[in-house]
Structure 1
């Protein structure tokens, strides 16, 4: 059964928190897709994943690019994109996913300072709970670590 996690950003921006979660996924041997709501966000994340650390980068591509199916991490704005055969799907800033049944894990990331994202996360919690999924809610502490709240 698909495990669904909600990550509530209270201390850092998406660009600061997402790369570490993606790195953990890749370290587990998982392939990931990151579903964005806009081309601007996709382009910003594309740049961040190449430069988020001085000593490394996260190998990734964007949907529709040549060889997209080979990338361990794929960035998209489409809910039907899964050409890299992902194990895990990240939905950021209010993206609405397809049915998550085919994934090991679904992750919603949302910003505490954005009411639309907060409302979307609450709605998705209800949808995923009604679908019988195992749900977990994580919130950042002041030192930007994740603590399980539910």
Structure 2
């Protein structure tokens, strides 16, 4: 069964997303990161390159020739070829076929728009019968 982790009240969602990517990478688990469009994909890739001075998070586009040898894939759509067990959803909606992932990570900022989108996704995940885990990040 798919588990959905909602990280709510995140002060800096982009920095937090990089920390989540780093954590999943260190666990040795394949991760796909879904982004809204190419502009956001490029910006997030650049953020991963510069996230920490002393560490390296190997990543590439899911369609890149080196993807088979790279543990972190960035994508703007979830083609059937994406087989990683974990998805970090930075896109605007719950992805199609969310049940194909073991885990989906959702980051929710503190602004009202983020909270409203999260409520919709939470209801959809509950209706699909997924295990939902809430992480309140307001004091972290």
Same fold (TM over 0.5): yes
State the partner residue of 1:140. Answer: 137
Structure 2 distance, partners of 1:42, 1:140, is 24
CA gap 1:43/1:82 in 2 versus in 1, 3 angstroms: same
* 1:112 positional shift: 2.0
State the partner residue of 1:148. Answer: none
**Aligned partner of residue 4 in structure 2, secondary structure:** strand
**Aligned partner of residue 29 in structure 2, secondary structure:** coil
* 1:47 positional shift: 0.6
State the partner residue of 1:6. Answer: 6
CA gap 1:77/1:100 in 2 versus in 1, 3 angstroms: same
Cα contact 1:8–1:139 (8 A) shared by 2: yes
Cα contact 1:92–1:110 (8 A) shared by 2: no
TM-score, normalised to structure 1, is 0.83
Structure with larger RCO (C-alpha < 8 A, sep 6+)? 2
State the partner residue of 1:89. Answer: 87
State the partner residue of 1:29. Answer: 28
**Aligned partner of residue 95 in structure 2, secondary structure:** coil
TM-score, normalised to structure 2, is 0.88
- What runs of 5+ residues in structure 2 fail to find an aligned partner? none
- What runs of 5+ residues in structure 1 fail to find an aligned partner? 146-150
* 1:11 positional shift: 1.7
Aligned residues, how many? 140
Cα contact 1:32–1:90 (8 A) shared by 2: yes
Q: How large is the RMSD of aligned CA atoms in angstroms? A: 1.8
* 1:93 positional shift: 4.8
State the partner residue of 1:59. Answer: 58
User: Out of 86, 99, 122, which is 1:125 matched to?
Assistant: 122
Runs of 4+ residues deviating >3 angstroms: none
**Aligned partner of residue 89 in structure 1, secondary structure:** strand
Structure 2 distance, partners of 1:67, 1:81, is 17
Cα contact 1:33–1:82 (8 A) shared by 2: no
